[in-house]
Amino acid sequence: MKTLNRFYIDGQWVEPAQQGARARSFDIVDPASEERIGTLAMGNDEDADRAIAAARAAFPAWSETSRETRIALLERIAAIYQRRLPEIAEAVRQEIGAPVSLCNALQAPIGLAHLHATIDVLRDFPFETTNGKSYVRREAIGVAALITPWNWPLNQITAKVAPALAAGCTVVLKPSEIAPLDAMIFAEILHEAGAPAGVFNMVFGEGRTVGARLASHPQVDMVSITGSTRAGVEVAIGAAPTVKRVTQELGGKSALLVLDDADLASAVASGVAQCMVNSGQTCIAPTRMLVPRARYDEAVTIAAAAANALTVGDPADPATRMGPISNRAQYDKVQRMIETGIAEGAHVAAGGPGRPSGLSRGFYARPTIFAGVHNDMAIAREEIFGPVLAMIPYDDEEDAIRIANDSPYGLAGYIATSDPQRARKVAARLRVGSVRINGAMLDVTVPFGGYKTSGNGREYGAEGLAEFLECKSVTM
């Protein structure tokens, strides 16, 4: 049984402000067994205030450090992170139920990739440029509050913390209470790496308490949140009276356009695999698959076979390809949305309600393929955040682009085609922040973010670092 009862504030491990009968805690639950594996202390406004005060006090000195000093800190962080990769992977497996193969291959290493990518950007980033008799300085914005979710925890933590530190900001991190184990290791890494007191701080707590305090506090200069669109809106509203910068990486309902010249079998199977990875709990997952109407039935058959072939089970088993949903509330939502799809008249081509056969406990959902879907159904418009794919037929390329763009979201798009020039033309017409063609993997060196209700601002690469900077012009 793990007991996480400390926060990291001003270079020290400290107890929560509330103790005794008034102290609040949160059960850490293994989603594969539904058993409690630990207890997490939850913070309040006072804890947030202490962390903000520490970050504010540390900002003047840290913001004036040299590029070389910041690179050296990030390099030490990366070296310790590399050493602790196995622990990080195991923590993610326990807390969110991601398969051990995914944790070892991606969930843990992606944090290291972000650290190295930020170091590379920082080496040559133009903090000052000249324009005739004027020059432009890009200066750290100040204290950055970072609010991260549970689905890809190290990806979101490092994609925010690394560029914030590189820019010269000081940080207060509020990780998800559902995924605290990896966050504790990350804070230990920052401490061992010698982050100056107050430069990095971490407080656990609920979004409606600690998150709301971080968003509204006048001494916080910027909030960066990754989460649901609802949570992003609440943060923006809380931040508005102090006119602080808010960047948001929010929900998605991304479409895969399988064009009529694509290898149908390969494109459909690849699309199913991309949708189902991490139990479908990925904001950019291609959860709508658009296929030519003339080959729709064939595509549904291929997709159903691919979903039925997925090995769902114990995330500790190396053979498992899909583990449980990460928590009960999300499991219940996924089940409700599957029932909604059935009630709307969609056809279950694979999967459906309940757990997979042979699994009587754990938050396991069945990889589900819906056919007979049209784009105004709830399962085609709402982010389900689970292993559920809606297959939609289209008449021609123009119709496919129209359907793809007919969404309140605009986070990502996917294209399958044998013609690279055609892919470029279609990509240019998709109202989304990123497009992947023919199964391309995530590139952490290029900007990431969304259009419409999928968010504001960008993460990753030089654009991600620039979000943490103010721009000052000086004319001689």
| Distance (Å, whole) CA 376 – CA 300 | 19
For the record, the structure tokens of 44 come out as 């309040």
For the record, the structure tokens of 380 come out as 């085609």
Instruction: Please tell me which residue in 249, 383, 459, 467 is annotated as part of the active site.
Output: 249
| Distance (Å, whole) CA 149 – CA 156 | 7
The owner of tokens 């520490």 is 54
Check if the beta carbon of residue 365 is closer than 8 Å to that of residue 325. Answer: yes
Known catalytic membership, residue 298: no
| Distance (Å, whole) CA 175 – CA 146 | 8
Known catalytic membership, residue 169: no
- DSSP letters, 147-199, are E--SSSHHHHHHHHHHHHHHHT-EEEEE--TTSHHHHHHHHHHHHHTTPPTTT
Check if the beta carbon of residue 95 is closer than 8 Å to that of residue 175. Answer: no
Check if the beta carbon of residue 319 is closer than 8 Å to that of residue 99. Answer: no
Instruction: Please tell me which residue in 103, 169, 275, 283 is annotated as part of the active site.
Output: 283
The owner of tokens 């290898």 is 263
Cα dihedral: 164, 411, 107, 323 (round 10): 150
| Residues annotated as catalytic (active site), given as ranges | 249, 283
